[in-house]
Amino acid sequence: MNITAEPYEFEFEPQSTALLLVDFQRDFVEPGGFGESLGNDVSMLRKAIPAAEKLLEAARESGIHVIHTREGHRTDLRDAPPTKLARGKLETGIGSEGPMGRILVRGEGGHDIIPELTPREGEPVIDKPGKNSFYATDLDLVLRNRGVESLIVCGVTTEVCVQSTVREANDRGYECLVVEDAVASYFEEFQRVALDMIKAQGAIFGWVTKSDSVLSAFESVGAVR
């Protein structure tokens, strides 16, 4: 099957495709979380939620694999490099107490995925200590065990965790389609440039499309099934 995309059509087989939702966590997306404490406007990220919701529901209905990721650390922070903890010289940083519990610590309220995109039973949740969803995780194993070859990617932020994941996926041989209205950045310019970088030079890292095109393809998959 094909999806209209840039720089050219994205080809995929439904049975070997997964919808990957990157880091839709309360600490990043909700008011009062870590993202807002850094001075960011979380409404910029929340723009991606409606399209991601529709894609998630359509993927479930059509039988497309669904995988979620969360960035966060062990309660003792032993998996957080000292350089990461020190960066930014923040008074309230990773591991500190915030409005939603300890910031970016597994098991705390802010680490959890937002209610709009809550994983269902059977949908893998990949807990990652870094920006790249493959780094120090079993994501590659989960994908290969399910026969996944193509990823349709949503998430936040476009220029950090989404792009880091797409670049690594590309090196590992996965084909990636990034859904531009289902990914978001705190900065408009970063959003534009990050997407341009992904689709540049004949899809050097992947393809870019709108959610409507993916939804149409998912509906066709559901009709076939």
If phi over 0 gives left and psi between -120 and 50 gives alpha, with beta otherwise, what is residue 105? beta
> Active-site residue 23, yes or no?
yes
Residues 6+ apart with CB under 8 A from 212: none
> Active-site residue 176, yes or no?
no
For residue 170, with 0-12 CB atoms within 10 Å meaning exposed, 13-18 middle and 19 or more buried, which class applies? middle
- Asked whether 225 and 63 are in contact (CB, 8 A), the reply is yes
- Asked whether 159 and 167 are in contact (CB, 8 A), the reply is no
> Active-site residue 84, yes or no?
no
Q: What is the largest CA-CA distance in the chain?
A: 54
Q: Which of 161, 176, 181, 199 is catalytic?
A: 161
Q: Which of 23, 27, 112, 127 is catalytic?
A: 23
Q: Which of 27, 112, 127, 128 is catalytic?
A: 128
Give the active site residues. 23, 128, 161
